[in-house]
Structure 1
Amino acid sequence: MQTVTVSWLKSLEVLNNVPDDQLQWLLDNSKDQFFEEGEFLMQPEEPITGPHITVEGSMRFFMMQGTSRRDYTIIGPGNITGYLPFSRGKIAKGYAQAMTKLHIRSLDTGLIPEMIKNHYELTQALVSIMTTRVRDFTALQQQNEKMMALGKLSAGLAHELNNPASAIVRDSLTLKKHLSEEPESIKAIFSMKIEPEDVSAITNTLFSLIDAKDHTRLSLKQRTQREDEIIEWLDEHEIENSYDIAESFVDFNFTIETLETFEKYSPNKNLTHILNWASDMLITEKMVRDIQESARRIAELVSSVKTFTHMDRAQDKQYADIHIGIRNTLTMLGYKIRKGNISVIEDFDETLPEVKALIGELNQVWTNLIDNAIDAMAVNGKGTLTIKTRRDREFVEVFIVDDGPGIAPEIQSLIFDPFFTTKEMGKGTGMGLEVVQRIVKQHRGSIKVKSDPGHTVFSVCFLIDG
């Protein structure tokens, strides 16, 4: 067993500049403690004791999320942990457990005021440990929070990308099959004898409808009525496949007048071939458009990811339009918004100038606040999310409003505290809003909350030229 002496204490880097008399005071007022492997030194809701100097063996610190253990750090020989001078936390939030047989030297927490008063260098050494611990723990928690946010976004993004990707595969296969069947209708067209001016009239009529930008959107009732009218006309003129081609004609706003135009410029015996050819052209056009739209959607999502993470920018403050970040966040959370049956209202002041900020960090703010609002409205099965921006002199203000059940008055003052969460175990670290507050303060701003049942507002205010 290692005997703890002044000489051994001075071998520790953090204590090697502390005067011997102060280390002797530490020895005289501390005692040895021994723990078996697996034994707990600390559990949640217990008072934090110490300082503790690890002499032999090691211990781990962790928290539980559901049935999963999340390790934060491992302490080995020569490290100092436990309650330290000027620590704000007095109650344990997690566990400390011996990983092997463990020998620690512990100072009674009640003697810390005496140490602070009479032993400056020893106090200073322990405070430096606390500062390092806070910095490292904060960085770890921020990284964990980012990973959790990334996990949420990735799940939603997988759904967002799956739909257009599946559509491209489906439509491309259908288009390939459709094109393989077209030669039969083309043969009939080639065998016709039509005057050039009639061909021009037919093709001009067709492509004017294909190229039309202002298609009238029909209600289900109007569409059904239009299809019935077209089918009736086609049947009267003994057109083959009348039921099938009527659907494609309605998609492109065909009317009875359109069909009469085709009839006017087509030899009677060839009208069925011309209308079936026109339907084939429309079906091909529609599938190509669907493929283009799906590809555009994928490109938009990839662009949103790139802009959201801001991975093409330097890691310092840049001037940027905050509305781009907010809209990209909404895109990234689009699947969750639709799944929650949530309407989004964008009340943006488009005259806002670009703000100088760490845009990637601000996007983390929008992600946390919007995601929390979506979760809050989930109990209602629907909701309205309102995002408003405005300028207040040299500041920009962003309001994120939901119509969920609200935050209970007795906990509103606690929501920005580290580890505080209203979510069930495994669904929140309690670091989201604490990280949000830290990022906002980093931008020389503030964040406030006002909540009543059916109306919760988070307001973020920060300098435009921060």
Structure 2
Amino acid sequence: MQNEELLNQIASFPSFQDVPRQQIQWLLDRGEVVIVPAGDTYIKKGDPIDKLIILLKGSLSLKMEQNGQFKEIYHMEVGEISGLLPYSRAQSAMGYGTAVIDSEFFMLNKSHFRDLVCECHELTAMLVHEMTDRVRDFTRSQHQDEKLMALGKLSAGLAHELNNPAAAMVRSSESLQKHLGTVPDKFKRVMSMNVTNEQIDLVSNILFEKVAKGVKKGETMMVRSQREDELTDWLEDHGYGDCYMLSETLAEFGFEEQELQEIRASLDQDTFPKVMEWIDNVLTTEKMVGEIKEAARRISSLVNSIKSYSHMDRSSDKAPTDIREGIQNTITILGHKLRKNQVKLIEEYDDHLPLINAIPGELNQVWTNIIDNALDAMESEGGSLTIKADRRGDVVNVQITDTGTGIPKEIQNRIFEPFFTTKDIGKGTGLGLEVVHRIVQGHNGSIGLESVPGKTKFEFCFPVSQ
């Protein structure tokens, strides 16, 4: 390409509209045109960034490698400026630059930058604006990636956590609908009974005392199973036919043989089965309504946790913040992963933990990233996750320890670098711990790491709110 033709082409690029032609010529006199065939790599990860690049023809792609896989992070088109710019502190390439099609670009070595700044003021101003725009775009993209990453973890956790109570509500409501379909026949049998007010009062008192207490919780399956067998034997001995389902329901509400004997003694032989059928109907209905109520309560609790986690109804300014609330909301959202990975949770909080001055939504990103990484580290063999928080002088100290695979010593000093990750594409962006580090610094806090196989501990310190 002839010098005049190249000058006209670069002058026509939008970025160079206000740059005098003699300054563009100054560039051309000191740089060179490089041709890169389609598929060739013009820069590799770790190569020094020491040249300004202007794409003249073709298309270039910059990709980052994560565990042998590549993800495109930047696509360069004709007229765009890349590489090193004046006053930039970039030192080495983070990825690989490849020509998508046959391409040509103009290059200027950084050895000319000092003279460029002194002699070409408009050109320098344009390049500084380019650098400012690049930083702004990169920051915006990074923040968007952070939000998508947090949203991904949040939505995955929420979907799992909401699915169980929602499915329980559907299952219980369908069972209740089917159960209520048999009520008319049972009602006829109840109406045909000839019982006194005293008999009604005795049965009602026993029954509704059990209903008020609800399903008996806290006992072992062995104890309940033994009581079911005893109730089954008693009912069979007293002429009640198919009673396995009835025995299970009675056992769940804590009935004992003595109470059945008391009901049986107050009724005649024909009335007793009808009364037990009515008792079974009341208890079954109560149980199903209770299951629906508990599922609805669980969904409500989850929605409140999400609202508190994201702080949708609060400002983004720093305010006195209870660290425990954010950690526990995060655990609620990631609860499915704890159960799936068979991780035992141990929580130890100071009863008088002071507040810290913080942006709660940002701190929740810290807990989400650290806890989620810990659960990933225990994915294959399970383990335990220990969270401690207490006051130490003028700071609140938080320790999050897992029994996972650990972080190799040779990469521990790199884990807070942007885009550094050991996870496969789709599992990690390399932004998580960099975000953690930046948020902690923004709260005047500190973060420490100790890791060996079988134990990884992140330790945080935040100043107490005054």
TM over 0.5: yes
1:165-192: CA deviations, max 9, x gaps? 1111111111111111122222222111
- TM-score with structure 1 length normalisation? 0.88
Correspondence for 2:5: 3
Conserved 8 A contact 2:54-2:80: yes
Conserved 8 A contact 1:44-1:91: yes
**In 2, Cα distance between equivalents of 1:64 and 1:30:** 30
Counterpart AA for 2:169 = I
1:202-254: CA deviations, max 9, x gaps? 11110101112693633232222212211121112112332221111100110
1:18-71: CA deviations, max 9, x gaps? 9967x6653332112344565543343443341112345554434356798644
Matching of residue 417 in structure 1 with residue 414 in structure 2: no
**In 1, Cα distance between equivalents of 2:255 and 2:280:** 11
Task: Map 1:68-107 to 2 at 5 A.
Answer: 70-85=71-86, 87-98=88-99, 102-107=103-108
Between stretches 24-33 and 155-164, larger displacement belongs to 24-33
Identity %: 42
Q: CA deviation at 1:463?
A: 3.2
Correspondence for 1:348: 349
Between stretches 247-256 and 422-431, larger displacement belongs to 422-431
1:314-341: CA deviations, max 9, x gaps? 3333333232221111111111111110
Conserved 8 A contact 2:49-2:91: yes
RMSD across aligned positions (CA): 3.1
Equivalences, count: 464
Correspondence for 1:388: 388
SS at match of 1:253: coil
Correspondence for 1:239: 240
Matching of residue 427 in structure 1 with residue 417 in structure 2: no
**In 1, Cα distance between equivalents of 2:235 and 2:152:** 54
Conserved 8 A contact 2:421-2:428: yes
Q: Which runs of 5+ in 2 are unaligned?
A: none
Correspondence for 1:215: 216
**In 1, Cα distance between equivalents of 2:452 and 2:292:** 46
Q: Which runs of 5+ in 1 are unaligned?
A: none
Correspondence for 2:448: 448
**In 2, Cα distance between equivalents of 1:382 and 1:369:** 16
Conserved 8 A contact 2:42-2:99: yes
Counterpart AA for 1:52 = I
Between stretches 249-258 and 444-453, larger displacement belongs to 444-453
Q: CA deviation at 1:261?
A: 2.2
Between stretches 198-207 and 90-99, larger displacement belongs to 90-99
Q: CA deviation at 1:154?
A: 2.1
Correspondence for 2:188: 187
**Change beyond 3 A, Cα 1:59–1:236:** same
Counterpart AA for 1:412 = Q
Between stretches 197-206 and 157-166, larger displacement belongs to 157-166
**In 2, Cα distance between equivalents of 1:298 and 1:399:** 30
**In 2, Cα distance between equivalents of 1:378 and 1:159:** 17
Task: Map 1:129-278 to 2 at 5 A.
Answer: 129-212=130-213, 215=216, 217-278=218-279
1:74-98: CA deviations, max 9, x gaps? 4445432102345444332223344
